[in-house]
Amino acid sequence: MALRVVQWATGGVGQAAIEHILAHPDLELVGCWVHSPEKSGKDAGDIVGSDKTGVIATHSVEEILALDADCVLYAPLLPDAGQVRAILRSGKNVVTPLGWFWPTDRERSKMEPAALEGGVTLHGTGIDPGGATEQQPLFFSGLSSAITFVRGEEFSDIRTYNAPDVVRHIMGFGGTPEEAKAGPMLGLLARGFEQSVRMCLDTLGFADAEIRSSHEIAVATAEIDSPAGVIEPGRVAAQRFAWEAFIGETKVVRVAVNWLMGEENLDPAWEFGPGGERFEIEVEGDPDCSVVIHGWHPSSVTAGLLRNPGIVVTAAHCVNSIPTVCAAPPGILTFVDMPVVTGRAHPDLAR
């Protein structure tokens, strides 16, 4: 019998998740929560541009909590821990790209009782964080010994991210450097990426380490066209956020994102280099390992605005985790406690 799944929110990740759920042979879409009242009452298929599903979206939290379902894929813009606890207490597993990848004892004490009360499981996953910044460095570390350093890093053209309000008002692109430095982005990102660093530290067995964050900015030297509007000279056009763990002055973990509004007209003159847009995984040990991942970025800005592979990858990692999460004992489930998560064959090629 297929597992009954609810999609919570239908932004970029949510829409891609609905597509993946509909294609997965072991899953059935049975509910859809939407933030916008204008979407409420629409068929989920109409929201994602596919055939009708028979699943009607709702803006009512109470309707979703009362629904008979096995799992909620929770993907709003920002997490609400109270909402997640309510979903767990209603007896539904939760898979989310918005946190709880490697919860602290304090975070666990807040969330685990709700999961145990509902007899279900909470799992945080995704791609960055939730994959390239901890899962994959740890996976490749399994091919080495005597590890001294691991790194997961993203290099992306942010013009392909089709969320102009987020890019402008939350990420701080197009504002002054002072506004970006004082804005919420570093704090919002730290909730996930510090967990990535701690997962690597704890799992690999490093000694107590100090985590240091940094935020670098490049400004436009000429007007830069972007889906979020024109970036004026002197305004923020590229940002690099990094979280690094040090034992003494020895760097043992680095997690970072490099987000550029293209490679032209930047000061400092940042560029992606010959590798282009990519994700990089690095392990220093016996032996060393270096992995570059392509394919998770669109072929052009226009293609990314239509369908960004990075968003699709995030959704796929969540959806493919659902069967394992639903089969797990109640509580909080992290990547290191799970078997390998895989995709499934295309329906035309399946048994």
Strands (E) located in the chain: 3-8, 27-33, 71-74, 93-96, 121-124, 145-157, 210-220, 236-247, 250-260, 266-267, 278-286, 289-293, 331-333
| Distance of alpha carbon 284 from alpha carbon 330, whole angstroms | 36
Q: What CA–CA distance (Å, rounded) separates 164 from 214?
A: 24
Q: What is the per-residue pLDDT across 245-293, written as a single tens digit (0 to 9) for each?
A: 999 999 999 999 999 999 999 999 999 999 999 999 999 999 999 999 9
Residues of the chain with CATH 3.40.50.720: 3-126+312-349
CA 186/CA 134 separation, integer angstroms:
19
What's the confidence (pLDDT) of residue 304? 84
State the sign of the Cα–Cα–Cα–Cα dihedral 169, 175, 176, 180.
Answer: positive
Q: How far apart are CA 259 and CA 294, in angstroms?
A: 16
Q: In which band, very low, low, confident or very high, does the pLDDT at 345 lie, cut at 50, 70 and 90? A: very high
pTM here?
Answer: 0.94
Quick: pLDDT tens for 101-155. Answer: 999 999 999 999 999 999 999 999 999 999 999 999 999 999 999 999 999 999 9
Q: What is the pLDDT of residues 195-244, one digit of tens each?
A: 999 999 999 999 999 999 999 999 999 999 998 899 999 999 999 999 99
Q: With respect to CATH, is domain 3-126+312-349 assigned 3.40.920.10? A: no
221: DSSP letter: S
CB neighbours of 75 closer than 8 A, spacing ≥ 6? 7, 8, 9, 11, 13, 14, 17, 96, 97, 98, 315, 318
